[in-house]
Amino acid sequence: MESPADAVAPKWVKTEPNDHGLYKVFPNRPTHDPEESITLANLCRSPDLLVPEKENPPDSTPWFPFLNPTVARLMAWFHLGSLQKSIAELDALVEDVLLQEDFDPAHLADFSAARENKRLDDAAFASAAADTAGRWLRASVKIKLPAPKVRVPEEDAPEFEVEGLVYRPLLDVMVEAFQSSHFEQYHITPFEYRWDPKHNPDDPDIELGARDVPLNEDGLPVLPDGHQVMCGEIYTSPKMLRAHNELPQPPTPNLETIIAAYMFYSDSTHLANFGTASLWPLYTFFGNQSKYQRAKPTMNADHHQAYFPSVNFYSHPSESAPDPIFHSM
C-alpha cells in the first residue's frame, strides 16, 4: 500500500472560484501572475484620465533641436496653425517672432527650411533610437514572381530584389519588452480559464483529492459537468497550453522556460495632410499581455519591428501586371 509520503503531488494548480464562478487551472505552479496585483486604476475605462508625464530631452536647450531660438520660433510658426496662413497669422508672426527679445536676424543667415526640417527629423529619429535597446539593421529581400504566360517551378521563377528593408532582430525586441516595466503584465504561464455557472460562494463544491481527479490530454483536470471553458486570450488558448507542455526543460539549475507569443501588425501610414509622404511600419505585440491592455494607446504596448520600403511596378503599355504579382507583395 502506498503511503501518503510516497504519493507524487500533482503538477497542475487550481485557483479558488471568484464570486462569478470563474477560476484558473494552471499546468504547473506559476511563478508570476499579473492579475494578483490588479487595482481599480488598472481597470479604468477612460484613457483621458491617464495623462503621461512629459519628458524633456536631457541637457537640452529650450529651442532643441534647432540651433537658436530665432530658427525655432520661425519653424514653430510654419508648422503650427492652419494650412493657409492668414493676415492674422502674419500679424502673429511679427508679434510672436520678429518682435521678441531673443529674435536675431543674424541667426537667419543662409536659412533653409528643408535643412531645418531634416534637423528636426534626425533629432526625432535619434531620440526614438535612444529609447530602444535593439539594433536597427538594413537588408534586401528577394521575392519570387510569377513568370509571364508560362508555368515554371518556384525555384526557377524570376526574382525581384527589394532593397532598403529596415528591421530589428526578433530577439532584440523580446529582450526590450521582457526587461521593461510591461513584463509585470505578462502571463508567462498559460492556463485554462473556466466558469462554473452554478457556483454559490456561500455553498462551494467539495473538492476531490488531487490524486482522484482524472486528467485530460493537457495534464489538467477533466472539465466537470456543467462547467465551461472561457476563451479570449492567447495565454488561455489550448494551443499555447500544449506548446507550453512541449517545452524542453533545462537541466539543473532549473531556469524557467516560457513562451513569448509574438504578434505582428502592419499597415501603410500617411504621414501628412499634403504630399505623398508615407511609411509602412511593422509592429510587434506580445500575446502574453492581455488584449485589453494592448488595445490602450496609453499602454504603449507595441514595439517597432521593421519598416518596409515602397516598390513601384511599371507595366508594359499593352498589358497590365498580373494579379499574382500584387498578391505576392
SS (H, E, C) 237-271: CHHHHHHHHCCCCCCCCCCCCCCCCEEEEECCEEC
184 vs 324, higher pLDDT = 184
Expressed as residue numbers, the domain containing 104 is: 58-134
pLDDT at residue 303 above 80?
A: yes
Q: What is the mean predicted confidence (pLDDT) over 11-37? A: 89
Tally of CA atoms within 13 A in the half-sphere of 236 that contains its CB: 16
pLDDT at residue 269 above 70?
A: yes
Please report whether residue 160 resides in a domain. no
196/281 Cα distance (integer angstroms)? 43
Cβ-count burial of 21 within 10 angstroms (0-12 exposed, 13-18 middle, 19+ buried)? Answer: middle
209: which residues sit within 8 A by CB, 6+ positions away? none
pLDDT at residue number 26: 93
294/207 Cα distance (integer angstroms)? 36
pLDDT at residue number 206: 55
Q: What is the pLDDT of residues 43-66, one digit of tens each?
A: 666 555 656 666 555 556 788 888
164/169 Cα distance (integer angstroms)? 15
Please report whether residue 103 resides in a domain. yes
Please report whether residue 151 resides in a domain. no
Q: Place 328 in a pLDDT band, splitting at 50, 70 and 90.
A: very low
Q: What is the mean predicted confidence (pLDDT) over 240-260? A: 86
245 vs 272, higher pLDDT = 245
Phi, psi of 303 (to 5 degrees): -130, 135
pLDDT at residue number 155: 84
Lowest mean pLDDT among 8-22, 28-42, 127-141, 162-176: 127-141
Cβ atoms 71, 108 nearer than 8 A: yes
Mean pLDDT score of the chain, rounded to an integer?
81
Percentage of the chain exceeding pLDDT 90: 30
What 3-state DSSP class applies to 162? strand
Please report whether residue 47 resides in a domain. no
Sign of torsion over alpha carbons 289, 292, 293, 295: positive
Q: What is the mean predicted confidence (pLDDT) over 278-282? A: 90
Please report whether residue 92 resides in a domain. yes
Q: Place 127 in a pLDDT band, splitting at 50, 70 and 90.
A: low
Please report whether residue 287 resides in a domain. no
Q: What is the mean predicted confidence (pLDDT) over 249-258? A: 79
Number of structural domains (the chain) is 1
CB burial readout 222-251, b (16+ within 10 A) else e = eeeeebeeeeebbbbbeebbeebeeeeeee
Taking alpha carbons only, the member of 35, 56, 123, 42 closest to residue 296 is: 42
Cβ atoms 162, 140 nearer than 8 A: yes
Angle of the 69-79 helix axis to the 113-130 helix axis, nearest 10: 90
Please report whether residue 93 resides in a domain. yes
Taking alpha carbons only, the member of 300, 262, 258 closest to residue 284 is: 262
pLDDT at residue number 304: 92
Q: What is the mean predicted confidence (pLDDT) over 293-303? A: 90
Please report whether residue 226 resides in a domain. no
